[in-house]
Amino acid sequence: MNKQKQFLSVAQGAVAGRKHIAVSKACEDSVFSEEKNDVTVAALSDGCGSSSKSGIGSKVITTFLCNMFLSSFNKLYKEPEDSFRTFVIESIRRKMDEVAISEHGTVRDFLGTFLLMAHKNGRFILLHLGDGVITTLFKNGSFLISEENKGPQDPQSTVYFTYPTASKIMFVKRFKSNDVAGALMSSDGLSNLLAKDGEVSDEVKDLIKSLSLNRQKGKNDLLNDLHNMSLFQNDEIYVDDDCSLSVLAFSKDLRKIDFLTNEGFDELLKKRVSNKKTISVYTKAFRRIKSSCQGPYDVAYLAKKLAISQKKTLLLISLLNEYVAFEEGNIVVI
């Protein structure tokens, strides 16, 4: 199988919470993403509720960070840990000083958290300062959850870029992997619902799966997905705080069949086959088709790759009819 290039798709959205809707106040969360020269960056910022112009601040933070990592990904990926942390925080502080001057305010008028994921050719950079959460989901079902940053002296306080030790407290993760399925970044308005007690909710997996199968999914589709989820069916649990969300997924690397588990296939197989030995043959063929088959193939060639007869190959394809397509009579695994 020729390995397809990975495309990191991004869908983002931000909506005002109940408290802001009640007083006709705009959402103070911001999201932004950009793609250029094989680099994809997505960022999210939750504006501080006590800052008078945090809506402006969160917008500046997201666009500034995205542009910085777009233009300097290689350098920042290789930068030593301490100088990397210092550079990020000092760069934001300088930018927000400029904004405060131009907007005739103080830096504290523009406070906001930030969460960021940047990707280039299998290399990742994750940043997280303040509350909210970044959940990175791997293809084998494991996940990495970022830690919220709280002030050591006051565990209830949110840390912003003005905090004296922000560069040391900030969550930073730089790594290389071809096994990332996708990621989700959310403000604290949603984070407790989507990732709690070290576990990732089914909603996180559903959002990443939905995006991976539809690269063109946009903001409105994403927000509709959110509101249609079981989390939001009960009006009583809809959150009061502003909600912002960024979903990232590798749409070309993941196929529909990648979401069919071994157990799920076994259930399909039991409806058609009862002989244990025959079940074992089909189970092995399914593992092969998932791990090393893409297509297009004719039946004879696919049967050879799967090490089963053409008759069994046709039965397997009929079982997997939702996970295959046909191009000019040839079989393509999707």
Q: Give the containing element (helix H, strand E) for 61.
A: helix 54-78
pLDDT for position 15: 74
- State how far the Cα of 270 lies from the Cα of 146, in Å rounded to an integer: 40
Same domain, 314 and 183: no
Q: Give the pLDDT of residue 56.
A: 94
Q: What are the structure tokens assigned to 248, written together?
A: 């990232």
Q: What local confidence, expressed as pLDDT, does residue 98 receive?
A: 96
- Note the pTM of the prediction, 2 decimals: 0.67
* pLDDT of 3: 45
How many Å apart are CA 198 and CA 207, to the nearest integer?
A: 18
pLDDT for 237 equals: 42
Q: Which residues contact 66 (CB under 8 A, 6 or more apart)?
A: 32, 33, 34, 41, 42, 43, 116
Q: What's the pLDDT at 1?
A: 38
pLDDT of residue 137: 85
On whether both 83 and 226 belong to a single domain, the answer is: yes
The pLDDT of residue 141? 77
Q: Please, what sign has the CA dihedral across residues 205, 210, 213, 217?
A: negative
The pLDDT value recorded for residue 255 is: 66
Which one-letter amino acid corresponds to residue 189? G
Do the domain assignments include residue 25? yes
87, 198: one domain: yes
- Predicted local confidence at residue 100, as pLDDT: 95
pLDDT in tens, the chain (334 residues): 334 455 678 878 777 777 777 777 778 889 999 988 889 999 999 988 888 898 999 999 999 999 999 999 999 999 999 999 999 999 999 999 999 999 999 999 999 999 999 999 899 999 999 988 898 988 887 888 887 766 555 555 788 999 999 999 999 999 999 889 888 888 876 665 665 565 656 666 666 666 555 544 444 455 555 555 444 444 444 456 777 888 888 765 556 777 777 788 888 888 888 888 888 888 888 888 877 677 778 888 888 888 888 888 888 888 888 887 777 777 777 6
pLDDT in the model for residue 32: 92
271 plus 232 within the same structural domain: no
Same-domain check for residues 226 and 94: yes
β-strand pairing of 195-196 with 123-129? unpaired
Please give the sequence-ordered ranges of beta strands (E in DSSP) within the chain, or none if there are none: 8-15, 29-36, 39-46, 114-120, 123-129, 133-138, 143-145, 171-176, 180-186, 195-196, 199-200, 243-250, 324-327, 330-333
- Check whether residue 120 and residue 176 sit in a common domain: yes
What is the C-alpha separation between 305 and 127, in angstroms, rounded? 43
Domain with residue 314: its CATH number is 1.10.10
Nearest 5°: phi and psi at 111?
-70, 150
- Structural domain range at position 267: 258-333
| Residue where a domain stops, chosen among 231, 254, 277 | 254
